[in-house]
Structure 1
């Protein structure tokens, strides 16, 4: 957004630990230049009339702690350019990318070419590979990866071998940098596609046993306890039982994330052809979804992830059990969660931003986003803006696996200062 305007009145959330208040803000060519009385005075000198936006929210950018970008530099798939465009249109100022790619990011030279553009655009952070090639067999060069810009270490969306994980934690080349691990055992999951339950059997989906998440979490919590000086993180919890394990751990459990889709959908309410069935970790039941929401609001779970995975049209022609798992659509996250949490459950804006911005910053060990004079790092959200989800939307990702296609939405990021 490069317009110059005075938003007065508008709702303003300045940053972490602060409350939403009604005020005024002056934006000049996309840059925040003044607030409240100072904004009104400067706008008057410019001959700028106020634009009334009493229901809209000016707030810090959102943060995605982990997504996947397999072809960052070229091709018809999602690239850095298209990802940045979609992320900025959804209000995301930072996206951290897991190591998975056509070239696995497990060596220092594989981290080159990802310009962060920290001042005016979407910052792309890189997780360095914990193991070579993500095979969980041999350690990647942790120290070299961190020295060359990795924010921490991770592999893919499955449990790293506990033996290799402990070896890496004992060696300690990561120091205090975060280590992100997905508590999913693919051997226990087998061909399971939806979390086990009566509805899964009725729908005919292959069941994913609860043990595929519960047992890995038990192992990871034990490692966290044995290595308190390391920053172990848990990726994409998906069951009520997992939340109970975190609660039972007591003080200082590891920071953790949950995928946005697991807060919105469960195995009870999706059409048979919905792309949202095929996600990883597997979709659970209504009780899982409710417990995950409670855990987010109580900050038992630290962050909501987008964990975007872009699939093409050929992928989407495959049967669900043969299709790669994942959804995409950074621009869908805030509108859908605003509806589910703020509009339907009276969740406060401050709680939602804790889960979508400030908590994810903590998970990836980065400073929290905030509104500052002279900055383009802001978003303007209109909860009453009506629109329809379409693939030909200029703000949409390139992936064919967006949920809600053709459906009407209420609420959208209508402006963002970030360059796209």
Structure 2
């Protein structure tokens, strides 16, 4: 199939051009129009985004989300590739499950799926899963996300084995004993509300432990690669900054909700704002933003975590943790921080940066590159309306907020995966 998009701009340019796609690749720019022709309406063309941390809830939790709704939501958010987490029911710890998910996703025509597989069997943290077979089946990374790796020896073995396979181990770095029953950040707000707090030390202590494990392996010549998910505190960020200065092979991600929301949002006792790790302080959010600027933070990820409305209407003690907003991630970041970070940096954090973390080829708009692209309307303002979401989780902390930078067209493999309207 041949498709041409006219009336589009490259990032940072005011000149309108056209680009043609054929056989799943970019054929070239400003060629004679061929095949189906779509009007880009003066939007900015960028490589489609890559999401390294999303919960699509399949298998077994499809009342919250499924592959069709989650990957359609991702495409509507401008994402071309999504790495889904394995804390499903059953856990994604079998090669056959990885293959089945990929095959199903390939037939949907939305964002491309790259399943993460569990690091340990059943995510119990006791025995490693069959990592080599999971890699051969198409697993993108190994992680027990949804649970913390309490057994340091098992994590060490997993890092070492995964490193020998050239694979990343991604961790939810949080000490479960320090977190205890905390439902929000421990501090003045939790004290004022009378709610059990989750201290910043829970994250920092686990990050410190995991970095020491990595350092020991690296000193022995291991190729272990550690990726720390959803950093939320200034202290943990400082630990990662120091580890990188020491030459450790560690990367990390930050989520837009930890940049744009704080624990003050919990004063209304609304569980929509309950997430793990919890929303922290403004000082933490400011430190994370600085980490994006100075390169300590490698990439952005959403930790898209849909739940049913009924679950989120429970009280803060009983409601599950998670915020779902993969469709809003770029508009939210562009509106809040586009001027401060710059378009080029923001696009890098959502395209080339996740690829660098994974060791994947860098995305490009050059001829011959994969035809995974998004057209962004950087100027039109409109309100975030959860009723329009493709996700089953049609509620969000940013409902009604006026945002700019909306994706209007997403191609995956040269096929239209999302078109606004």
TM-score higher than 0.5: yes
Counterpart secondary structure, 1:87: helix
Deviations 1:60-102 (Å, cap 9, x if unpaired)?
A: 1111111112234885431111111111111001110111111
For 1:211, which of 173, 197, 201 is the aligned residue?
201
RMSD of aligned Cα (Å): 2.8
Of 392, 395, 400, the match for 2:387 = 392
Asked whether the equivalents of residues 182 and 235 of structure 1 are also in contact (C-alpha less than 8 Å), the reply is yes
* TM-score of the two chains, using structure 2 as the length reference: 0.86
CA–CA distance in structure 1, aligned partners of residues 266 and 47 of structure 2: 33
Aligned partners of 2:77 and 2:407 also within 8 Å: yes
Residue 25 of structure 1: aligned partner = 17
Q: Point out where structure 2 has 5 or more consecutive residues left out of the alignment.
A: none
Which of 329, 332, 339 matches 1:336? 332
Deviation at 1:144, TM superposition (A): 1.3
Task: Compute the TM-score of the two structures, normalised by the length of structure 1.
Answer: 0.86
Aligned to 2:139: 150
* Distance in 1, Cα, partners of 2:74 & 2:52: 12
Question: In the alignment, does 2:349 pair up with 1:378?
Answer: no
Aligned residue number for residue 297 of structure 2: 301
Q: Where do 1:1-400 residues align within 5 Å?
A: 5-7=5-7, 10=9, 12-13=10-11, 20-27=12-19, 33-35=27-29, 38-39=30-31, 42=32, 53=42, 56-72=43-59, 75-113=62-100, 114-115=102-103, 117=106, 121-160=110-149, 161-171=151-161, 174-228=164-218, 229-249=223-243, 250-253=245-248, 254-269=250-265, 272-343=268-339, 345=340, 347-373=341-367, 376-393=371-388, 395-400=389-394
| CA shift in 2, pair 1:107/1:337, >3 Å | same
Give the Cα separation in 2 of the matches to 1:99 and 1:246. 25
Separation in 2, partners of 1:382, 1:212: 40
CA distance in 1, matches of 2:231, 2:187: 18
* Gap change, CA 1:51 and 1:97, over 3 Å in 2: closer
Question: What secondary structure, in the 3-state scheme, does the structure 1 residue paired with 2:16 have?
Answer: strand
Alignment pair present for 1:404 and 2:398: yes
Deviation string for 1:22-72 (max 9, x for gaps)? 33332568985542xx34xx35x99x999762xx42111111111112234
CA distance in 2, matches of 1:94, 1:49: 22
Change (3 A) 1:50 1:289: closer
Asked if the contact 2:160/2:224 (under 8 Å) is kept, the reply is no
Measured against aligned partners, the alpha-carbon deviations of 1:198-257 in whole angstroms (never above 9, x if no partner) come to 233224332111221111111111011112221111111110001111122223341111
Mark the CA change 1:238 to 1:402 in structure 2 (over 3 Å): closer, same or farther.
Answer: same
Maintained 8 Å contact 2:162/2:169: no
How many pairs align? 400
Distance 1:263 1:278 in 2: 15
Structure 1: segments with no counterpart, 5+ residues: 14-19
